[in-house]
Amino acid sequence: MPHLSSPAILLRAIEHGDYDKVITFFTIKRGKISIIAKGAKKSIKRFAGVLELFSVLNLVWTYGRRQGLPILQEASMVHPFDQIRTDITKTAYASYWCELVYAWMEQGQKNVSVYELLEHTLDQLNSGGLPEHILHITFQLRFVVINGFKPNLDHCTICRTPLERFGNSSVTFGVRRGGILCEKCVPQDTGTLSLSKGTVKLLRWILNAPIEKLNRLRFSRQAIKESLRMLEAFVPYYLGKETKSLKFLKQIDSKLPH
């Protein structure tokens, strides 16, 4: 049985029988994989303190002779990100990002860009390098872009009038149409949100700036609220469902001071 190995981020763990766990990782080499950790519930020594949510690990696994899940052989900690798990708000954000990766990525679909985005964002969340809301906005925007659903923030989605030539200071974002709409092309149906021009320009900057320069961002309270409202409508629409962890995050976002 050949041994396979890869750095991986732990997305989800569920109990399997009396002694085992089925753990889903997002690996840098093979994308999303589910692996059975035999004896993970009963053995204190084998995987003690290693198989923690959001942590980055080095994995070694094998495939058995029969069809079924691969078997975890070794797991060593690289980055525990333990500060996330001691804070309920940080845990909520990390849970949502990991749930997005779990729900969106196909089994065995390698995507180094998604892996690097998730690892970097978890690292910033753990260290407090950037405010949580900025990380949340940045992760969602970049995640949908990597997966081919870039929102159009440059020009009217219908008539292609550039944002700079919009007459109003507020901009309509059409969730179903996937982008901004000028005042002449706003549809009568539902599924639109209002954003300020300043918010749209900040979101465009996030999409184009190197990730290491995001600490230069300065969001107003209005821009944070508008961005979160837009992304919490746009991302589930293109994902096709609302994740469980998003409901809790909406409760957190609703407590932002006006």
pLDDT digits (tens, 9 = 90+) for 214-235: 777 778 889 999 999 999 899 9
Distances (CA, A) of 252 to 28, 79, 111, 127, 228: 31, 27, 30, 20, 11
For the domain 130-253, what is the CATH code? 1.20.1440
pLDDT at position 258: 45
Lowest average pLDDT, out of 24-28, 153-157, 166-170, 212-216, goes to 212-216
Which helix or strand (DSSP H or E) is residue 21 part of?
Answer: strand 20-27
Question: Could you tell me how many residues make up the chain?
Answer: 258
Close Cβ partners of 171 (under 8 Å, ≥ 6 residues apart): 163, 180, 181, 194, 195, 196, 197, 200
**pLDDT surpassing 80 at residue 253:** no
Fold matches, 3-82 and 130-253: no
Confidence of residue 139 (pLDDT cuts 50, 70, 90): very high
Show me where the domains of the chain are located.
Answer: 3-82, 130-253
The CATH number of the structural domain formed by 3-82 is 2.40.50.140
pLDDT band at 130 (very low <50, low <70, confident <90, very high): confident
Q: Is 195 helix (H, G, I), strand (E, B) or coil?
A: strand
Q: What is the pLDDT of residues 43-72, one digit of tens each?
A: 555 666 788 999 999 999 998 777 788 999
The pLDDT-based confidence of 19 (bands split at 50, 70, 90) is confident
- Answer yes or no: pTM beyond 0.85: yes
Residues 81-103: pLDDT tens digits?
999 999 999 999 999 999 999 99
Long-range contacts of 221-226 (CB under 8 A, 24+ apart): 221/256, 221/257, 221/258, 222/196, 223/196, 223/198, 223/199, 224/133, 224/134, 224/137, 224/256, 225/253, 225/256, 226/193, 226/194, 226/195, 226/196, 226/199
Of the pLDDT bands very low, low, confident and very high (cuts 50, 70, 90), residue 41 is low
The arithmetic mean of pLDDT across residues 148-172, rounded, is 93
